[in-house]
């Protein structure tokens, strides 16, 4: 009996040791196995919007690291690379359209992977950005633009390429194979193969120039001027959209125009900055014209001695609509920074018109405030007519 018991004990011990070694080996092969399994258990019924996907992730994962891993593995595993349209990258397409297309078809190219990844991170409470640039493969800079991602995890920035991390192209076909080399990559490591157009998104205190990237000189060089990318990102986030374009264009020019991809990106940024400013100006003109119409309606009603009678609150609201539109237009106009010559002339002309009408608007504001302090007979005595440009003002 003792001998039999001993043999059984040795057998069980050997089995336990083998199982333990197998578990250790599995963890070494994929240290995220448990997280991945739970992330990939996400029901198909929740995959039609990033809101639902993010809801599942935030409900099942609590740490920033686990959320980022869940986002990465879900995107890399569930979106199939669209080899047929690999050259059809369009950074001008709206992010929402890229996301909707990828979730609906479960296919996409780098811009779709990056858009979905970043939107999920944001909805899971992680600060994240889409990064655009170009890459180096087999020692040669590619001629196709690329998009990847950045996310802040526990106050540190990491880079993610869910496209390259999802598999690879082989003879015109996509081979699905998760590659963790492109998950949560340190910026100093990814710069060996991924070069952003805007050097701010290198997340390095001594950014690599495009020339150095071509030459493979990507090691930290402290002889350069120190660059605080954290301060730059914080300042960038506070800028208006056109100013963000202009800010990025300035950095890109300083970092060197090494290839056609960089040149095209720079031109697109400059065009986008101008078009956005023109769009903003046109919106201001609309607000101003709406305000003038509201002001004229108030003047007509005043000239009719506020008849038919309305409560004071409604009369005040009628004036406020005009006042808020015109003063809002005035404030927005001052936010258009560094316009070109043509736009500057249009801004100056509109500013003169606003300044002129604001004189009369302020007069009416003071008149109305005084009107509300008087009784019935005092109010009737205030209706003496004056005109401005042929329009009665009181």
Nearest to 246 by CA among 232, 255, 236: 236
Regarding whether 168 and 59 lie in a shared domain, the answer is: yes
Residue 391: strand, helix, or coil:
strand
Is the residue at 43 inside a domain? Answer: yes
Q: Total structural domains in the chain?
A: 2
The pLDDT of residue 361: 95
Q: List the one residue out of 149, 131, 174 whose CA is nearest residue 71.
A: 149
pLDDT per position as a tens digit, 18-52: 334 444 444 457 889 999 999 999 999 999 999 99
User: 308 by DSSP, 3-state: which?
Assistant: coil
Residue 261 lies in a domain: no
The CATH number of residue 79's host domain is 3.10.620
Whether 256 maps to a domain, the answer reads no
Question: The tokens 């802040």 sit on which residue?
Answer: 152
Asked whether residue 166 is domain-assigned, the answer is yes
Query: Are both 310 and 224 inside the same structural domain?
Result: no
Cα 246 to Cα 338: distance, rounded to the nearest angstrom: 9
Rg (C-alpha) for the chain, rounded Å, is 31
Looking at 31-180, which runs of residues are DSSP E strands?
Answer: 80-81, 107-108, 128-137, 140-141, 146-153, 156-160, 167-170, 173-176
pLDDT at position 316: 96
Looking at residue 177, the DSSP 8-state letter turns out to be: -
CB atoms within 10 A of CB 4: 8
Distances, alpha carbon 93 to alpha carbons 137, 139, 161, in Å:
26, 31, 20
Strands 194-196 and 173-176: unpaired
The pLDDT, as a whole number, for residue 339 is 87
Residue 254's closest CA among 281, 234, 295, 225?
225
Q: Same domain, yes or no, for 230 and 138? A: yes
For residue 266, being part of any structural domain is answered with no
Together in a domain, 194 and 292: no
Q: List the chain pLDDT tens, one digit each, 394 residues.
A: 333 333 333 333 333 333 344 444 444 578 899 999 999 999 999 999 999 999 999 999 999 999 999 999 999 999 999 988 877 666 667 889 999 999 999 999 999 999 999 999 999 999 999 999 999 998 899 989 999 999 999 999 999 999 999 999 888 899 999 999 999 999 999 999 999 999 999 999 999 999 999 999 999 999 999 999 999 999 999 998 889 999 999 999 999 999 999 999 999 999 998 999 999 999 999 999 999 999 999 999 999 999 999 999 999 999 999 999 999 999 999 988 888 888 999 999 999 999 999 999 999 999 999 999 999 888 888 886 656 555 555 4
Separation between Cα atoms, residue 172 and residue 131, nearest integer Å: 26
Burial of 160 (0-12, 13-18, 19+ CB in 10 A): buried
Q: In this structure, are 120 and 202 located in the same domain?
A: yes
Q: Structural domain of residue 209, as residue ranges? A: 32-238
Distance from C-alpha of 103 to C-alpha of 144, rounded to nearest angstrom:
24
Q: How many helices (H) and strands (E) does the chain have?
A: 14, 11
- Residue 341 sits at φ, ψ, to 5 deg, of -60, -45
Residue 15 inside a domain? The answer is no
Outline where the chain has alpha helix (H): 2-29, 33-40, 50-60, 64-78, 95-105, 110-123, 187-190, 210-215, 229-238, 241-255, 260-303, 312-333, 341-372, 376-380
Confirm whether 20 is domain-assigned: no
Residue 332 domain-assigned (yes or no): yes
End-to-end CA distance of the chain: 115
């Amino acid at each position: 009996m003792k001998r039999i018991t001993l043999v059984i004990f040795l057998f069980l011990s050997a089995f336990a040791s083998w199982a333990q070694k197998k578990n250790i080996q599995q963890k070494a092969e994929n240290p995220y196995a448990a997280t991945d399994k739970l992330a990939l258990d996400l029901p198909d019924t929740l995959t039609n919007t990033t809101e639902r996907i993010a809801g599942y992730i935030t409900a099942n994962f609590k740490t920033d690291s686990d959320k980022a891993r869940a986002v990465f593995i879900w995107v890399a595993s569930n979106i199939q690379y669209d080899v047929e349209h690999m050259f059809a990258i369009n950074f001008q397409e709206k992010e929402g359209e890229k996301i909707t297309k990828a979730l609906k078809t479960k296919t996409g190219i780098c811009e779709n992977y990056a858009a979905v990844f970043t939107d999920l991170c944001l909805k899971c409470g992680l600060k994240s950005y889409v990064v655009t640039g170009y890459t180096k493969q087999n020692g040669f800079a590619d001629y196709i633009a690329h998009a990847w991602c950045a996310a802040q995890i526990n106050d540190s920035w990491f880079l993610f390429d869910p496209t390259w991390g999802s598999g690879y192209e082989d003879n015109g076909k996509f081979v699905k194979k998760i590659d963790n080399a492109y998950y949560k990559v340190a910026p100093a490591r990814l710069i060996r193969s991924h070069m952003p157009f805007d050097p701010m998104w290198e997340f390095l205190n001594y950014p690599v120039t495009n020339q150095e990237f071509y030459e493979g000189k990507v090691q930290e060089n402290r002889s350069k001027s120190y660059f605080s990318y954290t301060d730059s990102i914080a300042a960038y986030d506070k800028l208006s959209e056109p100013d963000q374009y202009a800010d990025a264009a300035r950095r890109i020019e300083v970092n060197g125009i090494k290839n056609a991809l960089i040149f095209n990106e720079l031109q697109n940024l400059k065009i986008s900055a101008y078009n956005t400013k023109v769009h903003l100006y046109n919106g201001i003109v609309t607000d101003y014209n709406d305000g003038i119409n509201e002001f004229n309606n108030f003047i007509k009603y005043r000239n009719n001695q506020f008849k038919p009678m309305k409560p004071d609150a409604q009369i005040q609201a009628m004036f406020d609509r005009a006042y808020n539109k015109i003063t809002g237009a005035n404030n927005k106009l001052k936010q258009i920074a560094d316009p070109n010559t043509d736009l500057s002339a249009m801004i100056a002309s509109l500013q003169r018109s606003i300044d002129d009408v604001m004189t009369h608007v302020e007069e009416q504001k003071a008149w109305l405030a005084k009107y509300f302090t008087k009784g019935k007979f005092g109010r009737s005595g205030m209706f003496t007519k004056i005109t401005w440009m042929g329009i009665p003002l009181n």
